[in-house]
Chains A and B, each alone.
Chain A
Amino acid sequence: DIQMTQSPATLSASVGDRVTITCRASQNIFAWLAWYQQKPGKAPKLLIQKASNLERGVPSRFSGSGSGTEFTLTISSLQPDDFATYYCQQYNTYNTFGQGTKLEIK
């Protein structure tokens, strides 16, 4: 099974900050990596697929990069609506989610 490890588990930041979340795969998943955003009590929302392809309607301050085993999600300038939990997911072999990164207000 492919394991996904996200870091950090919690990230404290302020509006306007640039933040980066990292996701590591236990084996090569090429670019088959997605990022989801989840707010409390709500369903996850797909932000990025195939490592760097932004879903329609997702603000351009979100970006994804990486391939192989190392991936990042970057938010260039945090907005109040961005405070949420973020999950990476590999879909190269079946699928596995990372454990999540909670982005909280500093």
Chain B
Amino acid sequence: EVQLLESGGGLVQPGGSLRLSCVASGFTFSNYAMSWVRQAPGKGLEWVSAISASGGTTSYADAVKGRFTVSKEISKSTLYLQMNSLRVEDTAVYYCAKAFGTISLFDYWGEGALVTVSS
């Protein structure tokens, strides 16, 4: 059974940093691209970042480019999102999602980690 478990969310001040983790199980982590998708309170879904199966290729939404970094530690089956220079508008539930067939289609999602950016 595929499972994705996020951790690392919390309250941080504007300008601060936070690192999210997503531990994957139930599939061969090195064979699949992964993404982070976020959802601000009461709002819709917004893709944030993606990383290829090998970890060699990454992509970012314009809203986070230059501030967020996605990475994979294949030996630990763990996906990361390093978030720097956080803004109030980054407040959201962050989901990790496993890609299916193509890097941008998501067949399994974690339960999410809440990040609150506030002073």
Interfacial residues, chain A to chain B (CB-CB below 8 A): 34, 36, 38, 42-46, 49, 55, 87, 89, 91, 94-100
Contacts and interface: CB of A to CB of B under 8 A. Distances in A.
A43 B110 contact: yes
Contacts of B44: 87, 97-100
Contact of B111 (A43, A95, A96): A43
Residue from A42, A55, A91 with most neighbouring chain B CB atoms (10 Å): A91
Interface in B21-64: 44-47, 59
A11 B35 CA distance: 30
Contacts of B106: 44, 46
A46 B95 contact: no
A43 B102 contact: no
Residue from A43, A49, A97 with most neighbouring chain B CB atoms (10 Å): A43
A91 B111 contact: no
Contacts of A45: 109
A34 B47 CA distance: 14
Given A91-B105, A94-B59, A46 B47 contact: no
Q: What 7 A-B pairs have minimum CB-CB distances, sorted nearest first? A: A91-B104, A43-B109, A95-B104, A97-B45, A100-B44, A99-B44, A91-B105
B107 interface: yes
Contact of B47 (A43, A49, A94, A99): A94
A96 B47 contact: yes
A44 B45 contact: yes
